[in-house]
Amino acid sequence: MNYSKLGKTEIAVSRLCFGTLTIGPLQARLSLEKGASLLVEAFERGINFFDTAETYHNYDYLRTAFKGMNPKPVVATKSYAYKASTMEQSLSRALKDMALEAVDIFLLHEQESENTIKGHFEALEYLIRAKEKGYVRAVGISCHTVAAVEAALNFPEIEIIHPLVNIRGIGIRDGTPKQMLEVIRKAAGKNIGIYAMKPLGGGHLIQQAEDAFQFLLSHNFIHSVAVGMQSREELLFNRAVFSGEPVPEELKTGLKHKPRRVVVEDWCKGCGECTHHCPQGALTVKEHKAYVDKRLCIFCGYCGLYCEDICIKIY
């Protein structure tokens, strides 16, 4: 496994970060034992970086897994809190529920612009004070917009940026992959740690996973990439690619033919944009939410290009 340092923080992480949203109650709903075992195996195979968030409701998986890890891996979590009081609760919950003495990276969740960051600045200031006391090692933001990365450059307190970027720009709300990469490069040039998210665009790029991963790995200013995993086969495939090792053909074949399903997340607002771009006519809007006709869907993933909130995902 290859490793990199997250900017000026000097926190050393594997270039493959385990995105843990996929194992928990919001997606795969793995048993606590199975999910924790997958995290332990990832750690044993050299992945020392785990990404989570308060809203994922999966801290218990990490707490259980950490019992079998020594030393502890690097942990990043996030909160939507915008006041000091609520961020204090978020940090206390993370420390308690994951049985940690400190959280390595704590981010303001899903920032959109300079105004958004300013609106959450009280919470960021609380995290900075917590860092001074040793409860947090580094602070920053996660985001789906070019504007947020650009805005972060105006806040010297921000040490880590967790931006959305992939080869087709799925989920980038205000620009292209090229524009996102340009501003990420600028941030890294200011010694800000960068770990990317959504390299497979919510599952829409699964059929070209190797190319999608190599697209991000070819940019050394992206220090790590968070990839959601929910099976041992996915773990082995992803680790091989990120380690520069040949991927066994049986893994490629198995994942290529793995049964797929399309899920419309609860936060879909029913805008209907996806329905105009489904070549199979498999998408409609019912009761203010996109609906997938499983008889017509062929998992082409075209819909994902047009959903700015990445509500439609392929698993």
Whether a cis peptide bond, with omega within 30° of 0, leads into 199 is no
What pLDDT, on a 0 to 100 scale, did the predictor assign at position 304? 73
Question: 3-256 has which CATH code?
Answer: 3.20.20.100
Residue with tokens 């680790």: 239
Angle at 313 between CA 310 and CA 315, to 5 degrees: 150
What pLDDT, on a 0 to 100 scale, did the predictor assign at position 302? 64
**Are 192 and 139 in contact, with CB atoms under 8 Å apart?**
no
What pLDDT, on a 0 to 100 scale, did the predictor assign at position 306? 80
Amino acid letter, 217: L
What pLDDT, on a 0 to 100 scale, did the predictor assign at position 222? 98
**Extents of the domains making up the chain:** 3-256, 262-314
pLDDT digit string (tens) for the chain, length 315 residues: 999 999 999 899 999 999 998 898 877 889 999 999 999 999 999 999 999 999 899 999 999 999 978 899 999 999 999 999 999 999 999 999 999 999 999 999 999 999 999 999 999 999 999 999 999 999 999 998 999 999 999 999 999 999 999 999 988 888 999 999 999 999 999 999 999 999 998 777 888 899 999 999 999 999 999 999 999 999 999 999 999 999 888 888 877 667 667 888 888 999 999 898 886 788 999 989 999 887 777 566 667 768 878 888 767
Question: 262-314 has which CATH code?
Answer: 3.30.70.20
What pLDDT, on a 0 to 100 scale, did the predictor assign at position 60? 97
